[in-house]
């Protein structure tokens, strides 16, 4: 019998790629998403890729009655992966209450419904943002979680604590907190990918839209950092690799007799600078990008990348794609959006 996995935010960027990975691994994903930051046609694309159309419930995760009705449709639920959250760092600074209300409220509601029904395997979507500004750029999971640099980051820190304290007193729950570094790219079929709303905050979608001519030019936020080429360094990870890590995390949780709450960094273990990303994007896609060097962006960490050994040792997971593959797939996906827009 297929194992049911409830995926909140399952129509979103990382969520949709994870639904594909779950389906490919033989699970039966069930999506809860209010489509505030996702397109309905993504579900058609998931079906096109996997051959299976997931059940989808267009519900706000803060609506306990409706969320409970979804869970009660299934006799046994194997696991829950919680993505549903607002995630724009800049927006969170200008609208903190939206972020605290939604990100914390949604988690509390979904966790309560799951715990009441004895759902065992809980995977929470967290972020390397919780590390804040790091002194040593290579971070392990033991690196101290610092005071958040944004309300968004603060909700991730708070939500990690909520999962930890809830699991500690649960008779059924076992949990893992996955701290993503920088997810980039799109599915190799170019059927699903990142769909930023408005002006992209993140580097790679902005690069892709600049290459397409939607943006006039990319601004590199500072080249006077203490790094080899002066630009920030990050750990960029292909979104398909990130999605597969969630399948590995579920397998790990279900293999453990003992109930636990563990933390795992999901990164490649390598750092790449902004200028290196630009150069790779140009090379792998055979194009020239229009960019200029501008002022630093407030709040940017100079450099951070994962010590990814725990993911390898605990989950048996490592990245299969290179950054270049992600940049190639990002561009192939971006070009399809252009075709869709012109329809
Ligand atoms: C990367 C680098 C910018 C845009 C994000 C999320 C965070 C977490 C990790 C989810 C930085 C530079 C960017 C541009 C630029 N994800 N840049 N020009 O800031 O590392 O964090 O991913 O939880 O929440 O915010 O990613 O892509 O915004 O920036 O020069 O137009 O690219 O300065 O050095 P970041 P990013």
Pick the CATH number of 4-184+237-266 from 3.40.1190.20, 2.30.40.10, 3.30.390.30, 3.40.50.720: 3.40.50.720
Q: What is the pLDDT of residues 66-78, one digit of tens each?
A: 999 999 999 999 9
In the set 13, 152, 206, 225, the catalytic residue is 152
Distance CA(122)–CA(115), nearest Å, equals 10
Take atom 10 of ligand 1 and give the residue whose Cα is closest.
127
CA distances from 32 to 39, 100, 256 (A): 13, 20, 27
Name 272's Cβ contacts closer than 8 Å, sequence gap at least 6.
233, 234, 235, 236, 280, 323
pLDDT-based confidence at residue 90 (cuts at 50, 70, 90): confident
Taking 90 as the threshold, does the pLDDT of residue 135 lie above it? no
Q: What is the pLDDT of residues 169-185, one digit of tens each?
A: 999 999 999 999 999 99
The residues lining ligand 1, judged by C-beta closer than 6 Å to any ligand atom, are: 87, 89, 127, 129, 180, 182, 201-203, 206, 218-221, 232, 234, 274, 297, 300
Q: What is the pLDDT of residues 15-35, one digit of tens each?
A: 999 999 999 999 999 999 999
In ligand 1, the atom with minimum distance to the C-alpha of 232 is 34
Take atom 13 of ligand 1 and give the residue whose Cα is closest.
203
| Domain boundary assignment for the chain | 4-184+237-266, 203-234+269-334
CATH number of 203-234+269-334: 3.90.25.10
Taking 50 as the threshold, does the pLDDT of residue 343 lie above it? no
Distance in Å, CA 51 to ligand 1 centroid? 34
Distance CA(199)–CA(201), nearest Å, equals 6
Distance in Å, CA 297 to ligand 1 centroid? 10
Of 116, 109, 117, residue with least CA distance to 162: 109
pLDDT at 58: 98
Domain 4-184+237-266 shares a fold with domain 203-234+269-334: no
Take atom 2 of ligand 1 and give the residue whose Cα is closest.
203
pLDDT-based confidence at residue 1 (cuts at 50, 70, 90): low
In ligand 1, the atom with minimum distance to the C-alpha of 156 is 23
* 27 annotated active-site: no
Q: What is the mean pLDDT of residues 160-167?
A: 98
What's the pTM value of the predicted model, to 2 decimals?
0.97
* C-beta of residue 188 within 8 angstroms of C-beta of residue 329: yes
Distance in Å, CA 174 to ligand 1 centroid? 31
Q: What is the pLDDT of residues 194-244, one digit of tens each?
A: 999 899 999 999 999 999 999 999 999 999 999 999 999 999 999 999 999
Dmax (CA) of the chain: 57
Distance in Å, CA 203 to ligand 1 centroid? 6
Distance CA(128)–CA(182), nearest Å, equals 8
Distance CA(63)–CA(197), nearest Å, equals 24
Q: What's the mean per-residue pLDDT of the chain?
A: 96
Take atom 23 of ligand 1 and give the residue whose Cα is closest.
127
pLDDT-based confidence at residue 133 (cuts at 50, 70, 90): confident
pLDDT-based confidence at residue 342 (cuts at 50, 70, 90): very low
């Amino acid at each position: 019998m297929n194992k049911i996995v409830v995926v909140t935010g399952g129509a979103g960027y990382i969520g949709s790629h994870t639904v594909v990975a779950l389906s490919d691994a033989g699970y039966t994903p069930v999506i809860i998403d209010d489509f505030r930051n996702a397109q309905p046609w993504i579900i058609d694309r998931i079906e096109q890729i996997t051959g299976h159309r997931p059940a989808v419930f267009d519900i706000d995760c803060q609506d306990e009655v409706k969320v409970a009705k979804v869970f009660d449709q299934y006799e046994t639920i194997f696991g829950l992966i919680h993505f549903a959250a607002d995630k724009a760092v800049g927006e969170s600074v200008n609208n903190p209450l939206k972020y605290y209300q939604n990100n914390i409220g949604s988690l509390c509601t979904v966790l309560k419904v799951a715990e009441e029904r004895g759902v065992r395997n809980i995977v929470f979507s967290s972020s390397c943002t919780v590390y804040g500004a790091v002194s040593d750029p290579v971070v392990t999971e033991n690196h101290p979680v610092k005071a958040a640099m944004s309300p968004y980051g603060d909700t991730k820190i708070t939500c990690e604590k909520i999962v930890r304290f809830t699991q500690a007193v649960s008779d059924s729950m076992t949990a893992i907190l996955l701290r993503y570094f920088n997810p980039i790219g799109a599915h190799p079929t170019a059927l699903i990918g990142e769909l930023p709303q408005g002006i992209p905050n993140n580097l790679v979608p902005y690069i892709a839209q600049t290459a397409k001519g939607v943006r006039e030019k990319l601004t590199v936020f500072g080249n006077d950092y203490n790094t080899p080429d002066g630009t920030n360094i990050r750990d960029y990870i292909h979104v398909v690799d990130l999605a597969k890590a969630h399948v590995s995390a579920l397998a790990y949780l279900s293999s453990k007799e003992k109930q636990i709450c563990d933390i795992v960094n999901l990164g490649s273990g390598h750092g790449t600078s902004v200028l290196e990303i630009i150069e790779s994007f140009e090379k792998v896609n055979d194009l020239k990008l229009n960019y200029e060097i501008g002022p630093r962006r407030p709040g940017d960490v100079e450099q951070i990348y994962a010590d990814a050994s725990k993911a390898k040792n605990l989950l048996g997971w490592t990245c299969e794609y290179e950054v270049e593959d992600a940049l190639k797939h990002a561009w192939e996906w971006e070009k399809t959006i252009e075709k869709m827009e012109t329809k």
